[in-house]
Amino acid sequence: MNLKQKLVRQAIGVSLCAAIGFAGLAFGQAPQASAATKADKIISLGQKYLGVKYRFGAPSGSTSAFDCSSFTQYIYGKYGIKLPRVSSDQAKKGVKVAKSNLKRGDLVFFTTSRTGKKIGHVGVYVGNNKMLHTYGKPGVTYSSLNTSHWKQAYVTARRVL
């Protein structure tokens, strides 16, 4: 093999390694883009149910009424994320997220007067310190995490995307 052939072979080898390396970087970025896209889709689906009435213990899969955890179970389930039926069990899924590091699509968990110091409510973080969730008279609605009620009741957040 002459010098010219060796140089061409080395150049091709280096080019292939670079191409594989860049492809690996691109694949490494894909899950982040995918998670953001999935979060947007989940939130968009949830928004379609704004105003749907709240009913404690609403059955899984029903869209005529939701309770907080049947709502999150339904909208995440439509995008392949399987969540348990109750909020306290949903709070065990995914990875814990600091409140200061919330991203769209994270689940946020709260206590309720019914559950005392235990988790009894879940919502979907949508950004700008707001969540999409369902409770009481408004049914599916947006709420600010900055209100005294939700600040006081906040327990944790989990990233399931």
Active site residues: 68, 121, 133
Helix axes 68-77, 3-47, angle to 10 degrees: 140
**Helices then strands, each counted (H, E), the chain:** 4, 6
Centroid of chain to Cα 88: 16
User: Quick one: 133 exposed, middle or buried, by C-beta within 10 A (0-12, 13-18, 19+)?
Assistant: buried
Per DSSP, the three-state class of 74 is helix
